[in-house]
Amino acid sequence: MNPILDDDVLCCILEELRAEYAALRNCSLVSRSLNRIATKFLYSKVIWSPRFRPTFSLKDKGLPPPSSMFSSACLPHNAPKVKALEISGCLSPRPPSLNPFPTVLLEAVQSFVNMRFCHLTPTMYHEDLFTNILDVLKSSPYLSHLEVNSSCMDVSRAPILVQITAINVLVLQDPTRAILDALPSWLANLSLTELHLKGNCGSITPGVLKSFVPYLENITAFSHGLSYSLTDEDVFSFLSQLPRLQFLTLQYYLQLRPSPVVPFLSNLRSFTVYYRPVWNRDEADRLGKWIRTVIASSPIDHLALFSDDDFVASNVRFDGIICHLASKHAARLRYLEMQQAFISVDALRLLCKECSVLEELSMAGGKNVLAVFGQCISQMRHLHTAQIEVRNIKHSVSSGFPAVAKDIIIKSSRLRRLNVNGYHLEARWATSAEGSFDLVVEQVPSRTLPWERWEV
């Protein structure tokens, strides 16, 4: 069967389906020519992340099912198509003599000759799982992005890990003292553009942080987790010495003593903050002041606030942050993520009026937030994706949210995705039987990626 469309057009179409694994699989079954292109997207990212199982079975060998994406990606004709590999979740803690998965994984990594991204971050594993894998990664010709956790950073494996020198993006989850001691000399052999220190960073002291500075002059993205050993002054002084920094992620914790140092981040475009749930107005104001201090001199276009506990939410207002964004960053702000942050309807009106170039928005509000959002949606001419959590309502009221959300999408000129309290609605243009184009708004289920369905 000869394709109607050439490869360039098919690649553009399949690029839009990159996360639609069922659709990609169906496309790969249409013809040989379409299979050749569809499988490049289908197997570009392979993840094996088994869920935790409270009981232990001696029959369980810890291997992915033969029908899993990981198993099919290991086939000789699919292995060269793998660009990203992630091993996470709860793996078998049994030793290699009783657990064949380390051997299977080693053979898989050796066959993934075009791999560029490698994430080794399991929460349960045997200590020797990645020892041989790290040796293979040292000679991986295209590897540029490496993310690891304690499974690769203990005293035995840290010396092997630091021999991987071809990467330009390094992510360390819960960095250990063993890897921090070796990190300055490792950074000297790397040409990093991104360094991310995530999670528990309690071993990072002011002296350790200063030791990184000479090797991070080309860094454009940096992340730092929680360390009570560091003050805002330590962090702000460090950040001011990164002249090319554009993307920043920090963990906030309350400090009663304000920092005398104000960071000057003239190139910062994106700022992501993780914070513990706030319970009163004073805590919210301190968080807002801290955020304003970081982005005061920055041409920010993306601000994201994530609570450390998604299941705990308070109705303390974050209006101060909205007022600052509306007065200082309205002309550039395009993405605002505040899923757990509660704002008043007055702050929402101000946001819609001033930040007219917003493209994506997520927030929480009171019972009247949808009515006000519907009134102001016409002012937001670029908004295409929104997520709103409505609080302080009776459960029976939420059943009417899909109809209200549909009306909001129809009123808007650009809004195409709207999530209200878990109801996902998407809009698309469709051709009617009469040949006219109509905007169709439908409620769609939340997407579940294939590796999230596997259970050991």
Contact by Cβ (8 Å): 332, 299? yes
pLDDT digits (tens, 9 = 90+) for 150-170: 999 999 999 999 999 999 999
Residue 353, pLDDT > 70, answer yes
Cα dist from 125 to 61, 89, 136, whole Å: 13, 9, 19
User: What number is the average pLDDT over the span 332-357?
Assistant: 95
pLDDT-based confidence at residue 429 (cuts at 50, 70, 90): confident
Reported residue count of the chain is 456
Structure tokens at 119: 């994430």
Which pLDDT value is given to residue 322?
96
d(CA 277, CA 257): 20
pLDDT digits (tens, 9 = 90+) for 249-303: 999 999 988 889 999 999 999 999 999 999 999 999 999 999 999 999 999 999 9
* The model's pTM: 0.89
pLDDT-based confidence at residue 452 (cuts at 50, 70, 90): very low
**What is the Cβ-side half-sphere exposure of residue 365, based on CA atoms within 13 angstroms?**
21
Which pLDDT value is given to residue 28?
74
Contact by Cβ (8 Å): 441, 425? yes
d(CA 116, CA 127): 24
Which pLDDT value is given to residue 69?
84
> Which residues lie below 8 Å from residue 124, measured CB to CB, with a gap of 6+?
52, 89, 90, 91, 92, 93
d(CA 140, CA 379): 51
Per domain, the residue ranges of the chain are 1-42, 274-422
User: What number is the average pLDDT over the span 195-220?
Assistant: 95
Residue type, 152: C
Say which CATH topology domain 274-422 has: 3.80.10
